[in-house]
Amino acid sequence: MNCDNNCGSCESAESCSNNEMNEQDAKIASFLKNVKNKLVVMSGKGGVGKSTVAASLALTLSEQGYKVGLLDVDLHGPSIAGIFGLTGIPLNADGNRILPYQYNENLQVMTVQGLLANPDDALIWRGPLKIGVIRQFIADTQWSPLDYLIVDCPPGTGDEPLTIAQTLTDAKAIVVTTPQEVSLSDVRKSISFCKLAQLEILGLIENMSGFVCPDCGSVHNIFKSGGGEKLAQQQQISFLGKLPIDPAIVESEDAGDPAAMSEPAREALKIVVKNVIAQTKQ
């Protein structure tokens, strides 16, 4: 039988897998109406601080009074639970709705880590399963109305960022890089991916940009500095700012408390957040 997508009047609606899809699409659409800004944090390669940036942005925006949802769909290395001290907390379900973790009055956190029985287990899932889980996480989570939904994507240009780009149709990407050439060359691929996936780029952040010595206060450019800003200019995308290497960030994240960072890092983050606010819907 030909499908005209009119499930309400279709005799086969109950047994039809298309119907399930349409129901999910309807749930996703009704959630998206309640989210002002959808920001997808991406990187060309792992370890450049994508999750750190996603967590810091989410926390700072929530502390400034914005309603924020932070969704970790990095299925192979979900770090958000660790950063917020939520490791080992199982998914909280209420009937067929999943409840996000209320981190503070304004910040709700949802992470795929709750799907893993043991956080150290490896996940071996093929594309369609990953796509299904991400869509279900967006459709079935009981988010409050949000000013910002921040999505922590896995590195690279695979199924997960593509699913997010196709599901959150008016999302914008924040691309995170470190200043050295190996990272910049990967980030060019992320930029090209965004263009192909029609995911508008909000801007680029250069993380681990210089190390402020806590003893003498001087700046050491361990991974060079300024490469991200130059790349943003070349690619004609907005540069949102730089974050320095800060040992306090590693310590606070390892301890499950993302709030602690040194003063230079906090000042740098304020600039990034100000730029994000200036370029998003209020």
Under the rule (CB under 6 A), what is the footprint of ligand ADP? 43, 46-52, 79, 207-208, 243, 245-246, 249-250, 253
Q: How far is the CB of 249 from ligand ADP (least distance, A)?
A: 4
Asked whether the beta carbons of 79 and 72 are under 8 A apart, the reply is yes
| Sign of the alpha-carbon torsion through 140, 202, 178, 255 | negative
For 163, half-sphere exposure in the C-beta direction (CA atoms, 13 angstrom radius) is 25
Q: How far is the CB of 196 from ligand ADP (least distance, A)?
A: 22
Q: Which is nearer to ligand ADP, 35 or 205 (CB)?
A: 205
| Sign of the alpha-carbon torsion through 277, 161, 176, 57 | positive
Q: How far is the CB of 37 from ligand ADP (least distance, A)?
A: 21
The residue with its CB nearest to ligand ADP is 49
Q: Which is nearer to ligand ADP, 7 or 41 (CB)?
A: 41
Q: How far is the CB of 180 from ligand ADP (least distance, A)?
A: 14
Asked whether the beta carbons of 111 and 243 are under 8 A apart, the reply is no
Q: Which is nearer to ligand ADP, 48 or 150 (CB)?
A: 48
Q: Which is nearer to ligand ADP, 50 or 67 (CB)?
A: 50
Helix (H, G, I), strand (E, B) or coil at 114: helix
Tokens of 168: 């959150």
Distance in angstroms (rounded) separating the CA atoms of residues 232 and 260: 29
Asked whether the beta carbons of 212 and 247 are under 8 A apart, the reply is no
Distance in angstroms (rounded) separating the CA atoms of residues 101 and 93: 11
Q: Which is nearer to ligand ADP, 46 or 158 (CB)?
A: 46
Q: How far is the CB of 266 from ligand ADP (least distance, A)?
A: 11
